[in-house]
Amino acid sequence: MHSTAPHPLDDPGASPFGIAQKAAEQLAERTGVDRHDIALTLGSGWGRAADLLGETTASIPAVDIVGFSAPALAGHAGTLRSVLLPNGARALIIGARTHYYEGHGVRRVVHSVRTAAAAGARTMILTNGAGGIRDTWTPGTPVLISDHINLTADSPLEGATFVDLTDLYTRRLRDIARTVDPSLDEGVYCQFRGPHYETPAEVQYAKAIGGHIVGMSTALEAIAAREAGMELLGMSLITNLAAGIQTTPLSHEEVLDAGKAAEARLGDLLARIVSAL
């Protein structure tokens, strides 16, 4: 049974950073790991990586940690996993993403990132399944995110908080990823509000302003990661061509199918990238 108690992040007077710190303390207690070095949010199609990165020493329901909610979307595990990497570092695998379109507010969208930072992570990897604007990207293609355009008209920053986003998706990490797979292309990610898919006209608008990838996550989380001083690597799985580029109707089933088909290959790729960081 779900609790009817108010969500702590819904209190405008509460400190989202204080709640993230409490979540990190609970995470350390439940996993037995005092500090995680790297954190990964695994979106649609990327879940297999959690099994390939290293030895999972703890896996807990995200809802057991303060501030987290059960995932509303099929394809997300709903767990937080502590993984011992082959090099001895610790990875926190976040399988519980709160999407902006769920209507819970930006604090809850970025809580996982702030918790990862409070847990000690200095590197954040954000992955997603998304629509491609370039018609040369076939479904199943992984693409590095070089920059983003935030079309939500919202931000996780509160008050007079000014954060430089010049090198938001860290070039150093993208360069490392390309040493693992030189064929990796990159593009600018546009986060729309969702949950409806973009219209063909909106896709053309995104293209006109410099976008190459369209989706409903990641940008707000990326801003919070940079606010926390983390280095950031973003990757999209192109699950379909965007509306008007693709001639057939879009569906979430198509996204899940493309993700499942590419999962093993993406998991191996991401595991090799993490080992190279």
Per-residue 3-state assignment (H helix, E strand, C coil) for the chain: CCCCCCCHHHCCCCCHHHHHHHHHHHHHHHHCCCCCCEEEECCCCCCCHHHHCCEEEEEEEHHHCCCCCCCCCCCCCCEEEEEECCCCCEEEEECCCCCHHHCCCHHHHHHHHHHHHHCCCCEEEEEEEEEECCCCCCCCEEEEEEEEEECCCCCCCCCCCCCCCCCCCCHHHHHHHHHHCCCCEEEEEEECCCCCCCCHHHHHHHHHCCCCEEECCCHHHHHHHHHCCCEEEEEEEEEEECECCECCCCCHHHHHHHHHHHHHHHHHHHHHHHHHC
| Residue 186 designated active-site | no
Q: Catalytic residue, from 186, 198, 221, 263: name it.
A: 198
Which residues are designated catalytic?
198
